Every structure is written in C-alpha cells, then in structure tokens.
Amino acid sequence: MTGDALFEVTDLVRRFGRGGRVHALDGVSLQVQRGQRLGIVGESGSGKSTLIRLMAALDRPTSGSITFEGREITALAERDLGFLRAAVQLVFQDPRSSLNPRMTVGSIVTEPLRAAHLRRAMDAVDPRQRLREVLAAVDLPSDAAERYPHEFSGGQRQRIAIARALAPAPAVLIADEPVSALDVSVRAQVLNLLAELVDAHGLTLIFVSHDLAVVRHLCDSVIVMRAGRIEEQGSAEQVFAHPKAEYTKALWAAIPRIRTDG
C-alpha cells in the first residue's frame, strides 16, 4: 500500500445470474488516494456502477478485496459498517427516485444524522444546525427544509441530494452520473457546485460518468472501463491527451462536437 490510499481495491470480481454467467466485474484493482478526484468512465454494462456499489458496500463481491482506511469491508456485517456509511456518501443519477417524495427536505437531509449506526461513528452534531449549514452550502433557501421534493426543479432536487450526502461530513463523495438526468441548462451549475464543495471540504471525489468531457473537466485521474475490466487508467491529462487504449480513443472520437462549418 502506498502513501495515503483511502480505498484499496484488489482483484475484485462480481458475477450475477445463475452459475455466475454474467461477469459484471472481472478482476479490477485500483487505489484511491485521499483528496484524489477519480473519474470512472465507460458505457452501459462496463461495470462502473457495480464497482462503486461494491466500494460503498451496497453490494458484496464474488471475490476480491476492498479496504477503506486499511479495514477490509467486504466481509463486514451492516451493523459494523457505520464508519464507512459516515465517511462515504453517494449522489445518484435521478433525484426524483433517490429522494423520498413523502419526506420533507429537512428530514431527508438529516436522515443520515439520525441513523443509529452512523451516529456511533460520528462526532455529535446538532442536526438543525447541520441542516442549515448544508442547505446554505448547496445554495438552497433556508425555508426549503419544510418543503417536499416535488416543489423543486430537477437541478434543485439534485442539490437536496448533495446536501444529504454532505450532512454526515463525509471524507469521500461518490457521484454516479449526477448530471445525466438534468437539463443541459442546469448541468453546469451543479457541476460547478460539486467542484466548489470538493474544494471547500477537502473531499475525495469518485465521479462516475459516460461523459468524457465532464470527467476531463472535473477529475485529476481517470479509469476507463469496458466489459468489467479496466481498459486504461492514469492522470486525466495523460488519458485524454495521449490515450493508449484503442477503446479510449474510440470513446473520445465518438463524443459529438458542435460543428459550425455548416
């Protein structure tokens, strides 16, 4: 293990289906350093979402190991995962399905603070004060707490999801296609907000996306995945300026660009 690795993933395999016919992840190894901004890119079926679900202990691997801050997490029972749940938070693609429509924004955002096994892993915080802090951090009005998710636009709902993720003061933020379901006109705002928050809170960012241009903008290092394997990994600069894998070149070339030559 080198230096300050937060996550150490070794030879991770995840199979699905009868007899494990579907190899969703097929021997993936990687490290995430503290403060790193790692982009994971790939097309559907590449295994990128399976990988982060395993890293967040939302699913268990078929074989292989994941350590977080030196502790093996793959075999832990849910009640022993409090330290990981408090330190690693997720933002999902579609805030319409990731926010409970029957809860107020206030109770959605403070829910992680009320969960028993997270509380044990955290310093004591005043939920009301924390709520005000995180709503302000994502630029939502303070009266947002009493309202319900449907009263907000798509971009604002994703801000609510980000506020919830920030509530337990995590070390790692995992964002799975956080702007793909949003209108083009608000994507830039949410991306700017994520970048600001990562800076201000010194977060480690794991950013999953099919959009290479967004990853190039936000991340300092990149993993390109295909069919459950890592095709290429390196610094963002190197992967995008001098891609080695043919697949990375093909992905990069396929991005539509604005044509103004008529």
- Given candidates 3, 19, 44, 75, which one binds another protein under the rule CB under 8 A? 44
- Given candidates 214, 222, 224, 239, which one binds another protein under the rule CB under 8 A? 214
Please name the residue that has the structure tokens 């992680």.
112
β-sheet bridge partners, residue 11: none
Site size for another protein (CB under 8 A): 33
- Encoding tokens for residue 145? 């707490």
> Closest distance between another protein and the C-beta of residue 202, in Å?
15
Residue 123 engages another protein in binding (rule: CB under 8 A): no
Sheet holding 63-68, edge to edge: 22-33, 5-16, 63-68, 71-72
Residue 217 engages another protein in binding (rule: CB under 8 A): yes
> Closest distance between another protein and the C-beta of residue 147, in Å?
16
- DSSP code per residue over 230-242: EEEEEEHHHHHHS
Piece in contact with another protein (CB under 8 A), picked from 79-87, 89-97, 111-119, 211-219? 211-219
Residue 82, C-beta contacts closer than 8 angstroms, at least 6 positions apart: 117, 118, 119, 120, 121
Residue 202, by phi and psi: left (phi above 0), alpha (psi -120 to 50) or beta?
left
Task: State how far the alpha carbon of 216 is from the alpha carbons of 28, 239, 247, 252, in Å.
Answer: 22, 9, 16, 11
Residue 249 engages another protein in binding (rule: CB under 8 A): no
Residues numbered 155 to 194 that lie near another protein (CB under 8 A) are 183-189, 191-192
Q: Which is nearer to another protein, 202 or 262 (CB)?
A: 262
- The residue ranges that bind another protein (CB under 8 A) are 43-44, 154, 183-189, 191-192, 195, 210, 212-214, 216-218, 236, 250-251, 253-262
